[in-house]
Amino acid sequence: KKIKIAREQMSIPIDHINDPNETGLIGLQYTTITFQRSDLSATLTATNPNFSAIFIEFFKKLKLKQGDTIDIGIDGSFPGTNIALYSAIRTLDLKPIIITTVSSAMWGANISNSTWLDMEGILYQSNIFTFKSNAATLGGEDDLGRGFSPEGRDQLINALNRNQTELLTSDSLASNIQKRTDFYFSKGRIKAFVNIGKSIANIGENRTGYLDGLIRHVSNKNKSHSVIEQMLLRRIPVINISDVNKIATKYGLPIAPVPMPALGKGKLFIEKRFSQTTAIILTVIIVALLYFVIRYDL
């Protein structure tokens, strides 16, 4: 709601066709700060606030505790999923170290004066979250801003400046990956790394090498020089969310829902199952009855 109000105040119209739930979290198809193609349905799926529960599920599996440090690598492609992640972090009172790629894929936070850093800033200033990005990169080819027009690069730099965010940059993709990794490890002991989106520095040049979900080990199949690889080589578990629709389907969340689902409802939260305890008790009773019936017959 805060982001939607701010967007309206900046006279950025909400497209009621492409954003049917009027979330204010859906951008445009093409802009000067758009770095790659993306499916609109995935961006719509990401606006479901119940996505937060998926992150809670991951964090519980990793047995994260209050005050644990986790590293975050995100871009502007899925603002809704970013908010869901931040909500889970706030709920469990974790300590995030966040590096944001300011640019976005299609339909994400790709409006020059409404980037993810701007959205994040609104939530920070509203005291909804008490943390924000520690540093940022431009994204694009080699994570150096390559592939954007001069106007696009200027808009990305302006977003960094108005949100007072440190720029991490170098002269190559490899050195950018190293710079990100060094930045993370300079902040203390890391318990997990979370990637949202397809930033080339985080997931590697082929952008398809790593499976979505919880990853604990590097394999020859998914090996790709990236921040994820560096984390896994140090035995730090990784939560990767690159294909939002795939993760949503796995956990029972609807694809591009209209209207917005109710909070805390659905298969992700409640699933009908047989009670194992009841089954065991009844089995013991049946066995005992059979025993006495057979003894009586004998």
pTM of this prediction exceeds 0.85? yes
Flag whether pLDDT at 207 surpasses 90: no
What local confidence, expressed as pLDDT, does residue 136 receive?
97
Rounded average pLDDT over 205-231:
80
* pLDDT band of 221, cuts 50, 70, 90: low
Q: What is the token pair recorded at 246?
A: 């795939």
Mean pLDDT taken over the chain: 93
Rounded average pLDDT over 154-178:
94
E strand or H helix at 100: strand 95-101
CB 148 within 8 A of CB 33: yes
The rounded distance, in Å, linking the Cα atoms of 269 and 264 is: 6
Q: What is the token pair recorded at 157?
A: 């730099």
State how far Cα 154 lies from the chain centre. 26
Handedness of CA 29, 203, 194, 63 (dihedral sign): positive
What percentage of the chain carries pLDDT values higher than 90?
86
Query: Residue 167: which residues within 8 A CB-CB, separation 6 or more?
Result: 135, 136, 137, 138, 157, 160
* pLDDT band of 12, cuts 50, 70, 90: very high
The CA–CA distances, whole Å, from 289 to 83, 144, 282, 296 equal: 56, 74, 10, 11
- SS3 of 113-149: the string is CECHHHHHHHHHHCCCCCCCCCEEECECECCECECCC
Flag whether pLDDT at 220 surpasses 80: no
Q: Cis omega (within 30 of 0) on the bond before 49?
A: no
SS percent in the chain: helix, strand, coil, step 5 = 40, 15, 50
State how far Cα 80 lies from the chain centre. 8
